[in-house]
Amino acid sequence: MPGPAAPAGEPGGGRSASGRDGKNAVPPRDGDTQRSLLPTATSRRTWGAARELTRPHRGRALAAVAVFAADAAAGLAGPFALGWIVDTVREGGTSGAVTGAALVLFGAALLQAVLTATGAGLVARVGEGALARLRERVVARALALPSQRVEEAGTGDLAARIGDDAALVARAVRDVVPGLAGSALTLAATLVGLTALDWRFALAGLCAVPIQAATLRWYLRRSTPLYARQREVGAERARQTLESVSGAATVRAFRLGARHTRRIEERSADAVAYAQRATTLRSRFYGRLNVAEFVGLALILVVGHVLVRDGSARVGEATAAALLFVRLFDPVNILLALAGTAQEAAAGLARLVGVADLVAASPPGTSEEARTAPSAPGAYAVSALGIRHDYRPGHPVLHGVDLRLAPGEHVTLVGASGAGKSTLARIVAGAHAPTAGSVTVRAAAGEGPRVLLVDQDTHVFAGTLADNLLLARPGAAASDLAAALRAVGAEGWTRALPEGLATVVGAGGLALTPLQAQQLALARLVLADPPVVVLDEAAAEAGSEGARGLEKAAEEAIRGRTALVVAHRLGQAARADRVAVMEAGRVVEEGTHAGLLAADGAYARLWAAWAARGAE
What is the Cα–Cα distance from 339 to 337, expressed in whole angstroms? 5
Query: Which pLDDT score, from 0 to 100, does residue 130 have?
Result: 77
Q: What global pTM score does this model have?
A: 0.56
How confident is the model over 497-510, as a mean pLDDT? 83
Query: Which pLDDT score, from 0 to 100, does residue 21 have?
Result: 32
Q: For 246-260, 279-293, 337-351, 364-378, which range has the lowest pLDDT when averaged over its residues?
A: 364-378
pLDDT bucket at 147, cuts 50 / 70 / 90: low
Identify which has the larger pLDDT, 320 or 164: 320
What is the Cα–Cα distance from 37 to 349, expressed in whole angstroms? 15
Note the pLDDT tens digit of each residue in 214-228.
888 888 788 878 877
DSSP structure string for 2-52:
-GGGGGGS-TT-SPPPPPPP-TTPPPP-TTPPP--PPP---HHHHHHHHHH
pLDDT cut 70: percent of the chain above it: 84
Does the structure show a pLDDT above 70 at 67? yes
Query: Which pLDDT score, from 0 to 100, does residue 336 have?
Result: 65
Does the structure show a pLDDT above 70 at 337? no
Where is mean pLDDT largest: 25-39, 123-137, 208-222, 535-549? Answer: 208-222
Residue 431, judged by CB atoms within 10 A of its CB (0-12, 13-18, 19+), counts as buried
Identify which has the larger pLDDT, 189 or 91: 189
Does the structure show a pLDDT above 50 at 365? no
What is the Cα–Cα distance from 38 to 195, expressed in whole angstroms? 51
φ/ψ bin of 584: left (φ > 0), alpha (ψ from -120 to 50), beta (otherwise):
left
How confident is the model over 297-301, as a mean pLDDT? 87
What is the Cα–Cα distance from 375 to 407, expressed in whole angstroms? 9
Q: Is the dihedral of CA 96, 98, 104, 110 positive or negative?
A: negative
Say if CB 497 and CB 503 are below 8 A apart.
yes
DSSP structure string for 345-366:
HHHHHHHHHHHHTS--SPSTTT
Query: Which pLDDT score, from 0 to 100, does residue 324 have?
Result: 80
CATH architecture entry for 368-612:
3-Layer(aba) Sandwich (3.40)
Note the pLDDT tens digit of each residue in 435-455.
888 888 887 656 667 888 888
Q: Which fold has domain 42-356?
A: ABC transporter transmembrane region fold (1.20.1560)
Does the structure show a pLDDT above 80 at 287? yes
pLDDT bucket at 347, cuts 50 / 70 / 90: confident
Identify which has the larger pLDDT, 543 or 473: 473
| Strand, coil or helix: 507 | coil
Measure the CA dihedral 264/266/272/277, to 10°: -150
C-alpha 423: how far from chain center:
26
What is the Cα–Cα distance from 530 to 6, expressed in whole angstroms? 12
pLDDT bucket at 27, cuts 50 / 70 / 90: very low
Q: Where are the beta strands (DSSP E) in 481-572?
A: 504-505, 532-536, 562-566
Residue 523, judged by CB atoms within 10 A of its CB (0-12, 13-18, 19+), counts as buried
Note the pLDDT tens digit of each residue in 565-604.
888 778 778 888 899 998 888 889 888 888 889 888 888 8
| Domain edges within the chain | 42-356, 368-612
| Strand, coil or helix: 564 | strand
Query: Which pLDDT score, from 0 to 100, does residue 546 have?
Result: 60
What is the Cα–Cα distance from 156 to 240, expressed in whole angstroms? 7
C-alpha 234: how far from chain center:
13
φ/ψ bin of 565: left (φ > 0), alpha (ψ from -120 to 50), beta (otherwise):
beta
Say if CB 316 and CB 236 are below 8 A apart.
no
Query: Which pLDDT score, from 0 to 100, does residue 40 have?
Result: 79
Q: Are strands 382-392 and 436-442 parallel, antiparallel or unpaired?
A: antiparallel
Query: Which pLDDT score, from 0 to 100, does residue 2 have?
Result: 35
Query: Which pLDDT score, from 0 to 100, does residue 375 have?
Result: 54
Half-sphere exposure of 354 (CA within 13 A, CB side): 20
> Residue 33 corresponds to which amino acid?
T
What is the Cα–Cα distance from 189 to 196, expressed in whole angstroms? 11
Of 19, 28, 44, nearest to 354 by C-alpha is 44
What strand order describes the sheet that includes 395-405? Answer: 372-373, 436-442, 382-392, 395-405
Q: Where are the alpha helices (DSSP H) in 430-477?
A: 465-470
DSSP structure string for 55-117:
GGGHHHHHHHHHHHHHHHHHTTHHHHHHHHHHHHHHTT--HHHHHHHHHHHHHHHHHHHHHHH
Summary mean pLDDT of the chain: 77
